[in-house]
Amino acid sequence: VKKFASTVILLVFVFSSLSNTQPRLEKAFASKVSEGRLRQTVRDLVKLGNRLGGTKSGDMSASYVMKKMKSYGLKTTLVDDPVRLVYENLGWTLDVVEPRGLRGLFKNAWLAGFSPSVTPRTARLVFIGQPDGVKAEAVESAAVLVPYIVSSEHYRELVEAGAVCILSYFPNEFGSYTNWALINDLPASKDNSIPLFNISLNNGERLRKQLQADKKVVLKFSAKTTIGTGQPKTVIATLLGASPEHFLVCAHGDSDSGGPGADDNGSGVAGVIELARVMNSLVVSKALPKPKKSIKFVVWGSEYFSAESYVKRNVIDLENIAGVLNYDEIGTGKTRDCLYFEGNDIPQNHHLMNILQKVGEDYVGKKGFWRESTTNPSQGGTDSYVFLQNYLDKLSLPDTRIPSVTIYTAAWNVPKALLQTDGWLSTAWKGHPDSVNIDYSPYYHSSLDVPETTTEKEPYNMTWAVKAVGIALLRLAW
């Protein structure tokens, strides 16, 4: 009886230690994820400017990522994507000359992308309440203040009417853009003749009231920019596995709004770099064997554009992609502390989604992990969509049913409620069972998407996103 009991004890010990290996590895991985490094990376990236693909700032950002990946010992390549039209904002000035009391008014204004260079000049300001019915005689030689987003057609109309500059602001019901500016570009062209400044709601309203009380406002402004062609640079670092099959962990490296882009998408780039560092260090230290499937860590030079050129360049290799895990905005979230996995309505994503959902449920509420997680249906608007059927069809490429998902903690500039896809209610979701409330960032695509308002305020979001994807990969690639 004694012998039998000890055999049972031994067997129990063997089984439990076997089944403990995975959680142990996962914990070892998670414990190495460094919030300090993630924060530092975002600060470093934002200092390089808006990192637009094909500009000097974009090149510096790609070198930065490249250097990090190489320093971890990963095989890293730099790819020149095709030529595209790009702009650089090298500096601008904008101030009130009259009335004197409003001098120094502008806070957190932002020059629109593809604005032309203009030497310093002054102009009186006029207010236009809505885009239709602009009177040319009122606008001639004037700076124009508008409380809406300027379309390409409206821009041309204002230029033809003789306006010399546009100030645009955007009322937002959720408290966004009150003291900072939503960034909207001019049409991508070398031939724009007047600059557009995006300004805050409060600055815009202050000026509107002044003008509507029949008080004269005179502005002084200048802009220094270049508009020309450039090649975005994409960084690809590989943790080599045993088969040609591989996962792609990616993020767009540019601030697609042209603003500081700390959350969108310095946070995503920091996530890719940190994941690469920790995974590789576990393999190098032999805490982990070489993975069965390789992992490619990719930072796109330019959102959509670079991912599109990647799938075109690697057509024969597409069938070897076991899954795409894309980070976009993992650095903040206004109303919830939730980690989202997007794309549960796409059948080919189901296996990958199940793994992510399970990881979400296994660790929710634990120390150092997310307070809430969920999968959600497709919203679009980021690089993971380039690998899916609709996009590949558009490029006349074969659909190889690549699972492709995005991981994020906030999307857009307003909260949204989506109907949850049938069968995807997660025990890690704390909201209504039928819907998913998508969290938002009040700083989305704005002049204040800076570390202080996003990644420094809630750095834990980035660590969660790195831990979730890392743990999912430990279950998928080994």
> Closest approach of Cβ 388 to Zn ion, in Å?
17
> Closest approach of Cβ 399 to Zn ion, in Å?
24
Report the residue number, 192 or 447, with the smaller CB distance to Zn ion: 447
Q: x/- binding map, residues 153-182, to Zn ion, per CB under 5 A?
A: ------------------------------
Q: Does 264 bind Zn ion (CB under 5 A)?
A: yes
Which positions ≥6 away from 180 have C-beta within 8 Å? 107, 108, 200, 443, 446, 447, 448
Report the residue number, 259 or 360, with the smaller CB distance to Zn ion: 259
Report the residue number, 228 or 380, with the smaller CB distance to Zn ion: 380
Q: Which helix (H) or strand (E) holds 408?
A: strand 404-408
Report the residue number, 328 or 439, with the smaller CB distance to Zn ion: 328
Report the residue number, 59 or 328, with the smaller CB distance to Zn ion: 328
86 touches 242 (CB < 8 A): no
Q: Does 88 bind Zn ion (CB under 5 A)?
A: no
> Closest approach of Cβ 257 to Zn ion, in Å?
8
- In order, the DSSP letters of 365-382 are TSTTS-SEEEEE-----S
Of 265-273, 309-317, 341-349, 404-412, which segment contacts Zn ion by CB under 5 A? 265-273
Report the residue number, 262 or 311, with the smaller CB distance to Zn ion: 262
Q: Does 265 bind Zn ion (CB under 5 A)?
A: yes
Name 143's bridge partners.
125, 165
> Closest approach of Cβ 181 to Zn ion, in Å?
18
Strand pairing report for 233-239 and 75-80: antiparallel
> Closest approach of Cβ 322 to Zn ion, in Å?
24
> Closest approach of Cβ 442 to Zn ion, in Å?
16
Q: Which 324-383 positions form the footprint of Zn ion (CB under 5 A)?
A: 328
Q: Which helix (H) or strand (E) holds 39?
A: helix 35-47
Of 156-164, 183-191, 224-232, 261-269, which segment contacts Zn ion by CB under 5 A? 261-269
Report the residue number, 192 or 376, with the smaller CB distance to Zn ion: 376
Which positions ≥6 away from 445 have C-beta within 8 Å? 182, 183, 256, 257, 259, 264, 413
Which positions ≥6 away from 432 have C-beta within 8 Å? none
Other CB atoms within a 10 A radius of the CB of residue 309 amount to: 22
Q: Which 312-331 positions form the footprint of Zn ion (CB under 5 A)?
A: 328
Q: At which residue do the structure tokens 């890690």 appear?
A: 428
CA dist 407 and 404 (Å) reads 10
> Closest approach of Cβ 97 to Zn ion, in Å?
37
CA dist 289 and 171 (Å) reads 54
270 touches 220 (CB < 8 A): no
> Closest approach of Cβ 267 to Zn ion, in Å?
9
> Closest approach of Cβ 112 to Zn ion, in Å?
18
Q: Which helix (H) or strand (E) holds 65?
A: helix 56-71
Size of the site for Zn ion (CB under 5 A): 3
CA dist 334 and 474 (Å) reads 30
Q: Which amino acid is at 403?
A: P
340 touches 447 (CB < 8 A): no
Report the residue number, 144 or 181, with the smaller CB distance to Zn ion: 181
Q: Does 458 bind Zn ion (CB under 5 A)?
A: no
Residue 441: closest CA among 365, 350, 328? 328
Report the residue number, 204 or 232, with the smaller CB distance to Zn ion: 232
Q: Does 26 bind Zn ion (CB under 5 A)?
A: no
Binding site for Zn ion (CB under 5 A): 264-265, 328
